[in-house]
C-alpha cells in the first residue's frame, strides 16, 4: 500500500477513536451531572445557630461516607454566604450555603417601683431573662420622672438587627410616710428613780429601717409624785417627722405594811380541809382568845358532802354549813357566814366585809387589822368544777375547786402577805394574782374591828 494511503487510514482510525472517546466522555458527563443534580441542593438556607450537617445538603438519602467537603462543614457557622465544594469519585461540584439570622430574641421583663428621690432603674433591671443565638443589647427606655404609674417599652436587639419589644410598668412613688414608734408603753416608777427612756423603744421607717430619735422629758419632775408626758421625735432621711408621747407616773416609794407577830398554824395532818377554821383560830389567837382548833371545828355547823341519790347529786350549802367535815380528806369547805357565827361565839363583834375590794381590805390591814379572806390554794387559777343540789331548797350549788381561806397580814405594791395554814407559814403572793382569786371567790372577807 502506498505511503499516502497508509497515512489516510491512520488518520481515519485516529478520528474514529477520538469520536468514540468524545461519545463515551459525553455520556459519562451527562450521567454524572444528572446524579449531582438529583442528589444535591444547589442553594441551602440555614438559620444562624443551627449546625450545618451533611444531611442538609442532599435531597435524597445517600452514602455520606463517599463525600468530601471544602471548607469543612464545622467551619461554616457565622452569618454569611459560603461556596461549598463537594468532591466524590474524583469529581466535584459547588453549592451555595446561606446562613442568616431571622429569629428575634426571647425576653421576660418585670415591673419595678422606685421613689421619686431615687435614681430610675437601669434598663437591665427590667429584664429578668433573655436568650438568642447572637449577642444581645438592651436599648434605652424613656420615661417622664413623675409620681404615678408609667408604661414603658423594653427593646432587646441582637447584632443582626432582630428585635423584641415587651411592655413593663414603672411605678414612681413619693415618700411621705414618717417613721413609726414602737415600745412607748406607760411607765410607772418611784420618786427619785430615773428610767432609761430609750430602752425598748425604736423608731422604724418603712424605707430606711431604724432611725434615730430624740426624747424630751423636761416637764417630768422625778422628785414629785404625779402623772407626766414624755415627747419622742423621729425624722427620716427625707425629713418626714413623727412626734409621739409617752405617759409616765411618778409614785411614792413603795412601803410594806406588816402586822408583826401574827400567828401561823399548819392545818395538816389533822384538818386537811380545815383552812377556814384554822384561819379563824389564828385570828382568835392574835386577839388573845383561848381556844383550840378542835373546839372551833366541833362548833362549826356541818352539812353532808356530795352524794348520789338516783341520778341526782346532792350536798350541803357552804353559805350555811361546812360541806362535809374539815377533818376528812374528802371534805369540801365553807364560806364566811358560818365562820362568822363561830367567831362571834368566842369573841363578839366580827364584821362580814364581803363585797369590798381588795384595796379596801388592804386599807384595814394598813390600820393593823388582820382580815380573813377566801382565795385559792397557792393562788392557782381555778374555776367551777362541779355542782350539786341542796336538798332542803332545791337550789343548785356551784363549787369552785381549790377553795382556800387565809388571813391577810401585810402588803406593798407588789405582794400581799398572809398567814397560810396550807403551808404553815407567812407567805408573800403576787398582789395582782391575789386580787384575781379574791374576786373570783366573791370578795369574801371577815375582820374584828380594833
Q: How far apart are CA 72 and CA 79, in angstroms?
A: 16
Give the predicted TM-score (pTM) of the model.
0.53
Q: Classify residue 41 as exposed, middle or buried by CB count within 10 Å of its CB (0-12, 13-18, 19+).
A: middle
Q: Which residue has the cell 338516783?
A: 310
* CA angle, residues 340, 361, 318, in degrees to nearest 5: 35
The number of helix segments (H) and strand segments (E) in the chain equals 7, 30
Instruction: Give the angle 387-313-269 at the CA atoms, nearest 5°.
Output: 75
pLDDT (0 to 100) of residue 42: 86
Domain boundaries, the chain: 39-100, 106-173, 184-251, 257-447
Q: First and final CA of the chain: distance in angstroms? A: 183
**CA gap 376, 428 in Å, rounded:** 14
pLDDT of residue 33: 47
Q: Which CATH number fits domain 257-447: 3.30.930.10, 3.30.110.30, 3.30.390.10, 3.90.70.10?
A: 3.90.70.10
CA distance 155 to 162: 10
pLDDT of 30 reads 45
Question: Interior CA angle at 343 toward 342 and 347, to 5°?
Answer: 125
Asked if the domains at 106-173 and 257-447 fall in one CATH topology, the answer is no
Confidence at residue 63, expressed as pLDDT on a 0 to 100 scale: 81
Residues of the chain with confidence (pLDDT) below 70: 1-7, 9-11, 13, 19, 21-38
Q: Which CATH architecture has domain 184-251?
A: Sandwich (2.60)
Q: In the CATH hierarchy, which top-level class contains the domain 106-173?
A: mainly beta
Residue 308 is predicted with a pLDDT of 96
Amino acid at each position: 500500500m502506498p505511503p499516502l494511503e497508509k497515512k489516510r487510514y491512520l488518520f481515519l482510525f485516529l478520528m474514529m477513536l477520538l469520536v468514540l472517546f468524545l461519545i463515551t466522555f459525553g455520556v459519562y458527563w451527562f450521567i454524572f451531572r444528572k446524579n449531582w443534580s438529583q442528589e444535591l441542593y444547589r442553594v441551602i438556607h440555614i438559620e444562624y445557630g443551627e449546625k450545618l450537617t451533611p444531611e442538609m445538603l442532599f435531597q435524597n438519602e445517600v452514602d455520606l461516607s463517599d463525600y468530601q467537603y471544602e471548607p469543612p462543614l464545622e467551619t461554616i457557622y457565622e452569618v454569611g454566604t459560603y461556596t461549598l465544594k463537594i468532591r466524590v469519585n474524583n469529581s466535584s461540584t459547588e453549592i451555595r450555603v446561606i446562613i442568616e439570622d431571622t429569629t428575634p430574641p426571647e425576653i421576660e421583663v418585670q415591673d419595678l417601683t422606685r421613689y421619686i428621690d431615687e435614681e430610675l432603674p437601669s434598663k437591665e433591671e427590667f429584664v429578668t431573662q433573655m436568650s438568642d443565638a447572637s449577642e444581645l443589647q438592651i436599648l434605652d427606655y424613656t420615661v417622664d420622672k413623675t409620681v404615678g404609674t408609667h408604661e414603658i417599652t423594653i427593646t432587646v436587639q441582637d447584632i443582626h438587627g432582630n428585635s423584641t419589644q415587651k411592655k413593663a410598668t414603672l411605678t414612681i412613688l413619693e415618700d411621705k410616710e414618717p417613721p413609726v414608734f414602737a415600745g412607748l408603753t406607760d411607765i410607772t416608777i418611784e420618786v427619785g428613780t430615773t428610767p432609761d427612756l430609750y430602752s425598748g423603744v425604736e423608731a422604724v421607717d418603712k424605707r430606711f429601717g431604724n432611725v434615730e430619735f430624740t426624747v424630751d422629758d423636761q416637764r417630768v419632775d422625778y422628785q414629785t409624785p404625779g402623772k407626766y408626758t414624755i415627747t419622742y421625735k423621729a425624722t427620716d432621711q427625707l425629713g418626714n417627722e413623727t412626734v409621739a408621747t409617752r405617759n409616765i407616773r411618778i409614785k411614792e416609794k413603795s412601803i410594806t405594811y406588816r402586822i408583826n407577830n401574827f400567828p401561823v398554824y399548819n392545818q395538816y395532818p389533822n384538818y386537811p380541809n380545815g383552812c377556814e377554821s384554822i384561819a379563824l383560830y389564828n385570828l382568835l389567837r392574835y386577839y388573845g382568845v383561848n381556844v383550840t382548833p378542835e373546839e372551833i371545828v366541833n362548833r362549826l355547823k356541818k352539812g353532808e358532802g356530795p352524794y348520789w341519790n338516783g341520778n341526782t347529786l346532792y350536798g350541803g350549802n357552804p353559805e350555811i354549813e361546812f360541806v362535809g367535815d374539815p377533818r376528812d380528806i374528802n371534805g369540801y369547805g365553807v364560806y364566811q357566814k358560818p365562820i362568822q357565827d363561830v367567831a362571834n361565839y368566842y369573841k363578839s363583834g366580827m364584821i362580814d366585809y364581803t363585797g369590798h375590794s381588795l384595796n379596801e381590805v388592804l386599807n384595814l390591814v394598813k390600820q393593823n387589822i388582820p382580815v380573813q379572806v377566801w382565795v385559792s390554794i397557792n393562788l392557782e387559777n381555778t374555776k367551777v368544777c362541779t355542782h350539786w343540789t341542796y336538798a332542803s331548797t332545791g337550789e343548785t350549788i356551784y363549787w369552785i375547786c381549790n377553795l382556800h381561806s387565809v388571813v391577810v397580814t401585810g402588803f406593798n405594791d407588789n405582794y400581799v402577805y398572809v398567814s397560810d395554814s396550807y403551808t404553815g407559814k407567812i407567805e408573800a403572793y403576787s398582789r395582782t394574782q391575789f386580787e384575781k382569786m379574791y374576786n373570783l371567790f366573791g370578795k369574801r372577807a371577815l375582820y374584828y374591828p380594833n
